[in-house]
Structure 1
């Protein structure tokens, strides 16, 4: 795929054309999580978007996956910090990415190394109110989207079953028309009408499967990613609180705050600032994406019902003509 890139001095070309597999994107995300622990790393699309409904080998699924991976990469390259990460540079420019994977290049930041080695021995007393509010919001947000996702998948399954029935239902009128004289034309009209309704329903189902559900799943995973960063922040804060307590106990012996405590405090402040900035950026992106998503969903449903209405209205004149000739 062609990977777009902004015109920055560290890149030689405005865009790069390199071949990347799903596991390459997974490698990039893992490296970003390691080297940028204080930032929200966008989620990768799941390998199976709609289990039991979408064929993962179909062209539609491949195209849906491609769009989702493009979106993932765009979120990375648009980020004011992540876009400068050396792993992103390697991902976009390396002709042979496997060579870098085998090398296991160590690009962990000091903050990343510190967070990686934080043990579970520290227990946070309580989150600051603003971060507790973020945690509560993420829990509720993921719950609501999960419910919508499950219902939407049931609706799609029922629509597909209904579509199968429609495709069997329409031809019956056509074969019946061969036995009739005066009713032949109206019956053929009904058969064609049901065929048009079937096509419209198939298009609606495809749109929901390929456009609506992936966005829901992305933001459910996005909330999980944000919760992960929030937990890392809690771990660092708990470590900082434990170190402060230890210093307080031996205050007489060590009147000055040790350097490791100050470094831990810096990490907490770094987490707080980065998490709040990323949360604000995420909220802005969410508002934009869901506004587009819901408008598109409304338009697709309107188009579906308009097509069905036109199909059935086309049958009425045929029936009225037969009444007038009697």
Structure 2
């Protein structure tokens, strides 16, 4: 829908706020959930009029439904992930409760980022269901379900079967699958290390509060040194309390890494779809070869391999020529259909590989750019934090010098 693509290029998308609500679920039980306000506004003003803004509320489950729809309908695309439903890899003083205000705020930012990722994608931004997600509050879920996308979804059992039974896997997708596993492992380990460092840093900063208390107590018994000790204690107290805001800000950079932790699964989803297509192709080719062999055996009267039909023929004799001709005719028709089906699957497979690889290259450029930016920003933040620590001790030194 080119008009949707045009529309999305002309609007700004934001998830501006979150609200705790109480309602009843599908089984009529009361539940507490968080709703998010999705706002879209025109990026251009027409005839000096005010900017037009549309807004609607969405639950996290509706974001999940949108993403599941995109995964099924665009199997060759690395679909952007959603932020985590419950907090993982957090330092111990940060709540992992999914209703905690700080976590809800971080998830709000993540949901906004998800919508912006989809809106900036050259293919996904054109989708009608995505357009309606932004503009149609009532009956949106019904509209999604009416597309029948669930019927196109591949079962996990079928995907697992394809993984182990594909005879000629594409080396590029096999390597990509291994890369996604390694990427997920590396980022998981990095996030665990960061959480441990944050815990220890939190302790170190808070212990500096003891300096503040001791200096303040000491100042009470000193006449000439009292003011200097009191001021130094104040600097230590400020230093100790600053770590809460520092580590909460640091979670922003952790969330940027987490996005690519979840992107690893999106990469694997593309690989699994290719395995399924390859498995279907090989199954169709095997079935066609089997029918051609049957047709040749009937036409020549020779049996190349052991079969129940061959044993039956030996025991009860050959079937009548009319029966054989009829069977040959049926097989020839099935062979014709099978050849067309195989040709169609080959074309579909080549098209999938072409489109998937183009999107994977696009994803790689995005990943390299984003992770580079996130790691640099994290390093800059650590440098800034260290400079503030040096400044605190510099101020304390001046206080001691004036005693």
C-alpha displacement at 1:14, in angstroms?
7.5
| Alignment pair present for 1:124 and 2:162 | no
Aligned with 2:286 (options 240, 245, 257): 245
Q: Give, in whole Å, the separation in 1 of the partners of 2:351 and 2:60.
A: 31
Partner of 1:318: 399
- Between Structure 1 and Structure 2, the one with more strand by share is 2
Change (3 A) 1:117 1:239: farther
Partner of 1:207: 249
1:276-287 paired onto structure 2 within 5 Å? 276-287=357-368
C-alpha displacement at 1:267, in angstroms?
3.0
C-alpha displacement at 1:72, in angstroms?
0.5
C-alpha displacement at 1:38, in angstroms?
2.6
**Cα pair 2:212 2:233 within 8 Å, conserved:** yes
**Cα pair 2:253 2:374 within 8 Å, conserved:** yes
Partner of 1:10: none
Partner of 2:64: 26
C-alpha displacement at 1:302, in angstroms?
1.5
1:262-281 paired onto structure 2 within 5 Å? 262-281=343-362
C-alpha displacement at 1:77, in angstroms?
1.1
What is the aligned length? 313
TM-score with structure 2 setting the length? 0.70
Unaligned runs of 5+ in 1: 8-12
| Alignment pair present for 1:88 and 2:88 | no
**Cα pair 2:219 2:229 within 8 Å, conserved:** yes
User: What SS does the aligned partner of 2:145 have?
Assistant: coil
**Cα pair 1:5 1:77 within 8 Å, conserved:** no
User: What SS does the aligned partner of 2:54 have?
Assistant: strand
C-alpha displacement at 1:117, in angstroms?
10
C-alpha displacement at 1:155, in angstroms?
1.5
User: What SS does the aligned partner of 1:19 have?
Assistant: strand
Partner of 1:156: 198
C-alpha displacement at 1:270, in angstroms?
3.1
Change (3 A) 1:114 1:212: closer
TM-score with structure 1 setting the length? 0.85
**Segment drifting more, 263-272 vs 131-140:** 263-272
Q: Give, in whole Å, the separation in 2 of the partners of 1:316 and 1:95.
A: 61
Q: Give, in whole Å, the separation in 1 of the partners of 2:176 and 2:143.
A: 38
C-alpha displacement at 1:69, in angstroms?
0.6
Q: Deviation digits for residues 272-292 of structure 1, max 9, x if unmatched? A: 123212211211111121122
Partner of 1:140: 182
Higher-Rg member (1/2): 2
Q: Give, in whole Å, the separation in 2 of the partners of 1:66 and 1:260.
A: 46
User: What SS does the aligned partner of 1:314 have?
Assistant: helix
C-alpha displacement at 1:263, in angstroms?
2.7
Unaligned runs of 5+ in 2: 1-36, 44-50, 297-330
Change (3 A) 1:118 1:181: closer
| RMSD, aligned α-carbons | 2.8
Change (3 A) 1:177 1:235: same
Partner of 1:35: 73
Moved over 6 A (4+): none
Partner of 1:44: 82
Q: Give, in whole Å, the separation in 2 of the partners of 1:119 and 1:265.
A: 20
Change (3 A) 1:91 1:83: same
Q: Give, in whole Å, the separation in 1 of the partners of 2:144 and 2:127.
A: 15
Q: Give, in whole Å, the separation in 1 of the partners of 2:171 and 2:390.
A: 53
**Segment drifting more, 30-39 vs 161-170:** 161-170
Q: Give, in whole Å, the separation in 1 of the partners of 2:78 and 2:401.
A: 63
Partner of 1:260: 341
Q: Give, in whole Å, the separation in 2 of the partners of 1:218 and 1:157.
A: 22
Higher relative contact order (CA 8 A, sep 6+): 1
Q: Give, in whole Å, the separation in 1 of the partners of 2:227 and 2:153.
A: 78
Q: Give, in whole Å, the separation in 2 of the partners of 1:72 and 1:6.
A: 19
**Cα pair 2:215 2:233 within 8 Å, conserved:** yes
Q: Give, in whole Å, the separation in 2 of the partners of 1:315 and 1:162.
A: 17
**Cα pair 1:236 1:268 within 8 Å, conserved:** yes
Change (3 A) 1:155 1:67: same
User: What SS does the aligned partner of 1:16 have?
Assistant: strand
